[in-house]
Structure formats: structure tokens, C-alpha cells
Copies of this chain bind each other. A is one copy, B any other.
């Protein structure tokens, strides 16, 4: 019998949660597939109690679905579910931007946002963009959105946005990855960057309505691009998050 290798650095619950999430997002577990606790115990190395806690968390996170008769299955999403999630997130980010604008933000707090902006500008100067630069872009973009969310100073809203981003395609990096599958990718990234610039400007000038509007437009752009990207699925094999979309068209 394999003696259990216990890693004491992180809790078993967290370890199991991360491992299971990886399995789901990587597509190792397919949508609709039932997830067996025993199997999860073997693959994660934790015992049943932490595995169960991880499963409950992932269910609340929206990646799993409880089966009425017991147990959990990997949730399946339709294309519309995904695009709705993106729009949902854009709406919440719009509210965050408005809060930031209305409540006032010091120049010092905007500094890191502007640094992000400048760094992204630098990356986008390359035509065409390299793989490494693209991956830096994804990270910077996610950071920009996270910082913007923080500016709202509203813990409930921040929490909700985090939740809404649990679905990989609803997260900023999800946007970006979907867009990367399009031929006109770089042009789209530049438009998105323009949105970022406008929202900062609106927040600086305390124009709440404008800040909100541009973030919503930002999300609508992402929705359009996602739709386009899904039309030519050829490029999308690389996107593990796509594994979550049901194969059957509903």
C-alpha cells in the first residue's frame, strides 16, 4: 500500500480544491461527468473529508453541480451561459468603476493602474505579438481588472466580481484567450486597451456614468469576439477552458 505523502505546507482541503479545479479546467474531467470521491481521493492525495469540503467549495464556485441522488458532476455550460457570464461580469465591473469614480480615487491609487497600462502598451507595440509577450499580456490584463475592482472599495462588490470570474471564460484572461484565437487578435487587444485608458480617465475626472459605460462596452466587445472565435473553433483546441462548454448544441 502506498503510504500517504502528507504535504503540511498547505491544508489538504486547499490542495484538493486546487487539484480538482485543475482537473476540471484542463478537461481531464469532462462536462457532465460524475466526479467520484474515491477517485478524487486517489488523484489528490487527500482523504475523503477534505475532498468533500473541496467539492462543496467547487460547487459553490459554480464549477460543479450537485446530483440530486448524491455526489457531484462537472457542470456543463452552453455558449450563451458563457456570453451571459461575460456580460454579467462587465456589468459588475461597470458598477465598480462607477463606485471608484463617484467615491473618488487619489492619484497615488491610480498609479499601479497606469503602470499596467504602460506595460501593456509596450507589449502591444510588437507586431505580431510573440507568445511570451502574449502571456505577459494576459497576466497584466488580469491585474488591471483586479486593481480596478479594488478601487471600488466595496467588499461585497469585489467578492461578487471574484465569484463571477470563477467561470474561466468570464474572467479577463478568458476574454483574452478567446480573442487570441481570432486573426484580428492584436487589433482587438488594442481596442480593449483603449477602453482601459478611457475608464482611468473617467475615474480621474469623477465621471461615474462614463466609467461604467465603457466597462460594459468592454464586456460587449468580448462577447462579440467570443462568438466570432467560437465560429472558427479550429484555433480553440488550445483553450482548456473551452472544455466546459457542452459539446451538444442546445
Contact = CB atoms under 8 A, between A and B. Distances in A.
Contacts of A80: 154
A81 B85 CA distance: 24
Contacts of A81: 154-156
**Residue in A85, A92, A156 whose Cβ sees the most chain B Cβ within 10 Å:** A156
Interface residues of A, number: 29
A88 B56 contact: no
Interface stretch (A157-165, A191-199, A223-231): A157-165
A84 B53 contact: no
Contact of A95 (B88, B154, B167): B88
**Residue in A61, A77, A91 whose Cβ sees the most chain B Cβ within 10 Å:** A91
Interface string A62-84: 10000000000000010011001
A98 to B, nearest CB: 9
What is the count of identical protomers in the complex?
A: 2
Interface string A142-171: 000000000000111101100110010010
Interface string A100-135: 000000000000000000000000000000000000
A77 B62 CA distance: 25
A121 to B, nearest CB: 31
A88 B156 contact: yes
A56 B58 CA distance: 11
A60 B80 CA distance: 25
Contacts of A88: 92, 95, 154, 156-157, 160
A30 interface: no
A150 B170 CA distance: 21
A246 B164 CA distance: 26
Given A49-B49, A62-B159, A92-B92, 18 more contacts: A49-B52, A52-B53, A53-B53, A60-B60, A81-B155, A81-B156, A84-B156, A85-B156, A87-B95, A88-B92, A88-B156, A88-B160, A91-B91, A91-B92, A91-B95, A156-B167, A160-B163, A163-B163
